[in-house]
Chains A and B, each alone.
Chain A
Amino acid sequence: MGSEGPRRLGHLVTAVSAEVERPGPNGSGRRRPSLAWLGVVPFFAYATAFLLLPSAVVLIGAFQDAEGGFTTKNVSEVIHTPQYRHAFQTSIEISLVTAVVGGLFGLLMAYAAVRAGTPRIFRHGLTTFSGVAANFAGVPLAFAFIATLGTLGIVTKFLDNHFGINIYQHGFSLFTFTGVSIVYLYFQIPLMILVIAPALDGLRTEWREASANLGGSSFQYWRHVGIPVLLPSILGAAILLFGNSFAAYATAYALTGGAVNLVPLIIGQNIGGDVLSNPHLSEALAFGMIVVIGVSMVLYALLHRRASRWMR
Chain B
Amino acid sequence: MRRPRFAISSVVWLTLGAAYFVIPLAATLLFSLQSGKNYSYNLSAYGQVIHDEEFWKTLRLSVVLSLETILISLVLLVPTAYWVHLKLPRVRPYIEFLTILPFVVPPIILVVGLLKFYNGTVHAPLWFLESPYAFLGSAYVVLAFPYVYRSLDAGFRAIDIHTLTEASQSLGAPWRTTLARVIIPNIRAAALAGAFLTLAIVMGEFTIASLALFTTFPTYINLVNSQQVYEAAALSLISFGITWAAMIGLLAFGGGPGRRRAAAGAAD
**A-B CB contact pairs (8 Å), 21 listed:** A23-B172, A33-B87, A40-B95, A49-B138, A52-B98, A54-B110, A58-B112, A112-B12, A116-B4, A117-B10, A134-B264, A135-B197, A136-B204, A147-B233, A154-B27, A186-B24, A187-B267, A250-B206, A251-B268, A268-B207, A286-B112
Q: A145 to B225, alpha carbons, bound, how many Å?
A: 13
Give every chain A residue within 8 A of B126 (Cβ-Cβ).
none
Given contacts A132-B243, A153-B27, contact A20 B171 (CB under 8 A): yes
A112 in contact with B164 (CB, 8 Å): no
Report if A310 contacts B (CB, 8 A): no
Kindly count the residue-residue contacts between A and B in the assembled complex, taking CB atoms under 8 Å apart. Answer: 349
Give every chain B residue within 8 A of A46 (Cβ-Cβ).
76, 141
Contact of B164 among A12, A39, A137, A152 (CB under 8 A): A12
B113 in contact with A143 (CB, 8 Å): no
Interfacial residues of chain B within 210-232, with CB under 8 A of chain A in the complex = 210-211, 218-219, 221-222, 225, 229, 232
Give every chain B residue within 8 A of A27 (Cβ-Cβ).
172-174
A39 in contact with B88 (CB, 8 Å): yes
Q: A38 to B79, alpha carbons, bound, how many Å?
A: 12
Chain A min CB distance to B13 (Å): 4
Report if B154 contacts A (CB, 8 A): no
Report if B133 contacts A (CB, 8 A): no
Interfacial residues of chain A within 59-74, with CB under 8 A of chain B in the complex = 61
Given contacts A109-B17, A247-B106, contact A119 B30 (CB under 8 A): no
B211 in contact with A268 (CB, 8 Å): yes
Give every chain A residue within 8 A of B24 (Cβ-Cβ).
144-145, 147-148, 186
Range class of the B interface residue count: 35 or more
Given contacts A40-B83, A297-B104, contact A144 B174 (CB under 8 A): no
Q: Mark contacts of A140-183 with chain B using CB atoms, 8 A cut-off: 1 yes-contact digit, 0 otherwise.
A: 11011111100011110000000000000000000000000000
Q: A152 to B32, alpha carbons, bound, how many Å?
A: 12
Report if A115 contacts B (CB, 8 A): yes
Q: Mark contacts of A186-225 with chain B using CB atoms, 8 A cut-off: 1 yes-contact digit, 0 otherwise.
A: 1111110011001000000000000000000000000000
Report if A275 contacts B (CB, 8 A): no
Q: A155 to B23, alpha carbons, bound, how many Å?
A: 9
Q: A275 to B9, alpha carbons, bound, how many Å?
A: 53
A1 in contact with B31 (CB, 8 Å): no
Given contacts A16-B177, A51-B142, contact A249 B164 (CB under 8 A): no
Give every chain B residue within 8 A of A57 (Cβ-Cβ).
113, 116-117
Give every chain A residue within 8 A of B104 (Cβ-Cβ).
290, 293-294, 297
Given contacts A115-B7, A143-B233, contact A155 B260 (CB under 8 A): no
Q: A1 to B251, alpha carbons, bound, how many Å?
A: 19
Report if A53 contacts B (CB, 8 A): yes
Q: Mark contacts of A23-64 with chain B using CB atoms, 8 A cut-off: 1 yes-contact digit, 0 otherwise.
A: 111110001010011011011101101111111111001000
Chain A, Cβ-Cβ closest to B206: A250
Q: A55 to B116, alpha carbons, bound, how many Å?
A: 10
Report if B63 contacts A (CB, 8 A): no
Give every chain B residue within 8 A of A100 (Cβ-Cβ).
none
B101 in contact with A55 (CB, 8 Å): yes
A140 in contact with B266 (CB, 8 Å): no
